[in-house]
Each structure stands twice: as C-alpha cells, then as structure tokens.
Amino acid sequence: MTKQMNLRLDEELIKEFEELAENENLDRSALIKKILIEGIQRERFNFAIKKYVLQEISLERAAEIAKISIHELIAKITQLGIPSNLTIEDFKKLI
Amino acid sequence: MNIFIYDACSLIYLAKINVKEKLVHLGSINVSPIVKSELISEKEKYSDAKVLKENLDKKIIEEMKFKRGKSIFSKNVGKGEDESIQLCLQIDATLVTDDHQAVNIALNAGLKPKTSEIILIDLLKEGMISYEDFKNYFRELAQIKLLKPEIVLFFTDKAMEIVKNNSKGG
C-alpha cells in the first residue's frame, strides 16, 4: 500500500533531482523514493552504530535497529575499525 | 556436564577463529531459538553462517527450547541476548556473550557470564589447547574484535599465569 506525502523542496534541489533522474534514466518520483530508502537505511545504521559505540546498546540490539543480520553488522564494524565495546573493567569483573 | 548458552556474536567470533570444535570439551553448546535464527540468517552470504547451520544440523550446537517469559531486561539488548539470559537463569547455565551491555545485565541478574576471550583462557586452563594455540587463536580474535591493547595485555598476562601454574602443578 502506498500513501501520498507532500513535501516542499527548494527549486534548486528539485533541479538536482531532475538532472540526476535524467542521468539515471529514472522518473523523478522513483529517484526520490530510491534516495529515501537508501537514506533511511543509512540513518538507521549510523544511529545503531553511534549507540553501540557509546555503549548504550548491545551488538545484537544494534543489528535489530539497523535491520541487518548480526553477520552483516559484525562484518561492517570490523571493516569500519570499530573495536569491541567490552572494557578492561568488564573483564576484571568476569575473571 | 556444564551447560553453556552462547549468544550469536560469541559463536560467530569463535567460528571465525576456528576454535568451535574445541568448545565441546568445556560443556554442551546451546543456543536459544532466537539466537539460532540469527546464526543461520544469510547462510548463503556468510560462510560462518553456513558452518554454524551445519553444526546445528549435526547437533554439535543444540537449540534449547524453553518457555520464554516477558522480557524483564533492558531494551538496550537484543532479543537473542535477552532470551539467552532468561534461559541461563531458568536452567542455571553459563552465558557466553561478547557484549558490554549483555555482560553487565547478566552480572546484575546474578549470572557469571563468559566472553570468547575467557573461553580461550578456560581451554588453556583445562589443557585443551596449548599456549601456542592460545596465542594464535587470541591473535585472530583480537584482530577480528579489534581489541584494545590493554585488553590484549590483560589476557596475555592471564595466559602466562596459567602456563606457570600448570607447569608448577606438573
């Protein structure tokens, strides 16, 4: 099911969309939809990673928020060079 | 026999460093239903997921069914971690998790969780792996988890202590 959403955009931005749509052989609304979907995914991922790095959420919770598998999240955080959120204090409590 | 409940990230890390086969020497390898589905998701895309699925099929890793209560833990942990903590409390099992939030919630709930690093230490302590093996496994784990230098040093010291104690004990 789709719903209509009205959005006011700057003329300059609309021009950018039109130019990009023409380059990519897409109609304007298809391009906007594509950018929105990619943007939402990116925002979800960035938000989840930020919360993980700040030790506010766990790795699995981050995967849930980012709506990706735990395998994909582990691969991405390794690729991004983000260290494990376990601290030396955690280990001292456990050993 | 010790019963271990692993969460998804720990089993993935231990699968990545190829130490999974040794884990049975410490106790049974169990996962909760949600963790099982997390482990095998995207099995076509990730080789670890494929290997873990094979282990589940061969019952090396077992899914432990249980009556899941309403989540009593923080929303800061995932459903799999929440389920694993609940399961450990119900059957008095040892939780293995590699996450700061999950470790601290488990500690507050009265559990004594372990991490992948501690599992390696336990394998060394029990003589299931040599010091050389430990160093190799740990090096790989540290690379994957991008462990901070102070953590690497902490575990290197612990391993040395165990080697010394083991040699004293004959």
**A91/B115 Cβ within 8 A:** yes
Strand B28-31 relative to strand B61-63, pairing: parallel
Q: Residue B74: its pLDDT value, please?
A: 77
The chain A residue lying nearest B7, using CA atoms, is: A60
**A83/B148 Cβ within 8 A:** yes
pLDDT tens-digit series, residues A45-60: 999 999 999 999 999 9
**Domain check: are B108 and B153 in the same one?**
no
Q: Where along chain A do its domains lie?
A: 11-94
Interior angle at CA B100, CA B125 and CA A52, nearest 5: 140
Whether B157 has its CB under 8 Å from any CB of chain A: the answer is no
Whether A53 has its CB under 8 Å from any CB of chain B: the answer is no
A22 by DSSP, 3-state: which? Answer: helix
Q: Residue A7: its pLDDT value, please?
A: 87
Q: Would you tell me how many other CB atoms lie within 10 Å of the CB of residue B154?
A: 17
Give the DSSP H or E segment for B28: strand B28-31
Count CB pairs under 8 A between chains A and B: 118
**Domain check: are B107 and B62 in the same one?**
yes
Mean pLDDT by 10 residues, chain B (170 residues): 95 95 95 96 94 96 84 84 94 96 95 98 96 97 96 97 84
The chain A residue lying nearest B145, using CA atoms, is: A84
A6: exposed, middle or buried (C-beta count within 10 Å: 0-12, 13-18, 19+)? exposed
**A95/B118 Cβ within 8 A:** yes
> Which pLDDT tens digits describe chain A residue by residue (95 residues)?
889 988 899 999 999 999 999 999 999 989 999 999 999 999 999 999 999 999 999 999 999 999 999 999 999 999 999 999 999 999 999 99
Torsion of CA B27, B29, B134, B163, to 10 degrees: -20
**A84/B78 Cβ within 8 A:** no
Q: Residue A50: its pLDDT value, please?
A: 97
Query: In which domain, by residue range, is B12 found?
Result: 3-115
CATH of the domain at B100: 3.40.50.1010
**Number of domains chain B contains:** 2
